[in-house]
Amino acid sequence: MARKLAHRDEMSDSVTNWRNIKQQISDRAQLVAVSKTFGADEIRPLLEAGQRIFGENRVQEAQNKWPDLRRHYPDLELHLIGPLQSNKAADAVRLFDLIQTVDRPKIAQALAAEMKKQNKALPCFVQVNIGHEPQKAGVMPEALDDFLKLVQGEYGLDIVGLMCIPPADENPQPYFRQLAQMAARHGLKQLSMGMSSDYELAILEGATYVRVGSAIFGGRPQITK
């Protein structure tokens, strides 16, 4: 009984956190609630409160919880915000409403083929490795021009914006500013940047989407492989 009450309190806290963040953001940016590692029971209170845009990192995890939730909340919008493998492209196109992590030609080609096959044109963001970090996914800033020509021209993807994750141990604001300048140069209106610790800075630099997880849901449960 005590465990159930604690779980209920955590869900109530997430809605309170969400309301506070929504108030801070106001209409300056769209809030993507990052629900990776959290189950339908943790997500449903936010849906009931009115949140409609959610972000997931893994296709397989998302498949296990979102189809049923979508049946009850058909107006929700699901974003893939984690790396995509080409063998998961069909599932990603089927499940998601927007792909934020197009980062290499193989993925762009696989997505384009699946969108044509499923007759479903999804808007996409290009993920930029804004800090030139070898451990992170993303197109290097100096390669963005050629990459955009390829994925927009040859593959015909609907690229609507850019996404980035700045280096964790540095001031993120200059990186946000750089991404905004890159997007403006290419006429891209959407910017996905900023997370729980820095979304206010990202909004100051022009973010149209902020990806907030732990500041809403709290600490993440451990995933066992």
Could you read off the pLDDT of 91-136 as tens digits, one per residue?
999 999 999 999 999 999 999 999 999 999 999 999 999 999 999 9
| Mean pLDDT of all residues in 12-20 | 93
Question: Can you give the pLDDT at residue 74?
Answer: 97
d(CA 209, CA 193): 7
Residue 41 has pLDDT above 80, yes or no: yes
Of 8 and 127, the structure prediction assigns the larger pLDDT to 127
d(CA 13, CA 45): 10
CATH code for the domain defined by 2-217: 3.20.20.10
Question: Can you give the pLDDT at residue 20?
Answer: 97
| Mean pLDDT of all residues in 31-35 | 98
Give the mean pLDDT of the chain: 93
Compute how many other C-beta atoms are within 10 angstroms of the C-beta atom of residue 121: 13
Could you read off the pLDDT of 153-182 as tens digits, one per residue?
999 999 999 999 999 999 999 999 999 999
Question: Can you give the pLDDT at residue 224?
Answer: 42
Question: Can you give the pLDDT at residue 4?
Answer: 43
How many residues are recorded in the chain?
225
pLDDT band (50, 70, 90) for residue 2: very low
Structure tokens given for 56: 């997931």
Max CA pair span of the chain: 58
Per-residue b or e along 49-71, where b marks 16 or more CB atoms closer than 10 Å to that residue's CB: eebebbbbbbbebbeebbeebee
Question: Can you give the pLDDT at residue 220?
Answer: 63
Question: Can you give the pLDDT at residue 3?
Answer: 36
pTM given for the model? 0.92
Per-domain residue ranges for the chain? 2-217
Residue 7 has pLDDT above 90, yes or no: no
| Mean pLDDT of all residues in 182-203 | 97
pLDDT band (50, 70, 90) for residue 221: low
Q: 55: closest CA among 198, 129, 163?
A: 163
Question: Can you give the pLDDT at residue 222?
Answer: 52
Query: Residues 6 or more apart from 197 whose CB is under 8 A from it?
Result: 215
Angle 124-128-133 from CA coordinates, rounded to 5°: 145
pLDDT band (50, 70, 90) for residue 219: confident
Element (H, E) at 45: helix 40-49
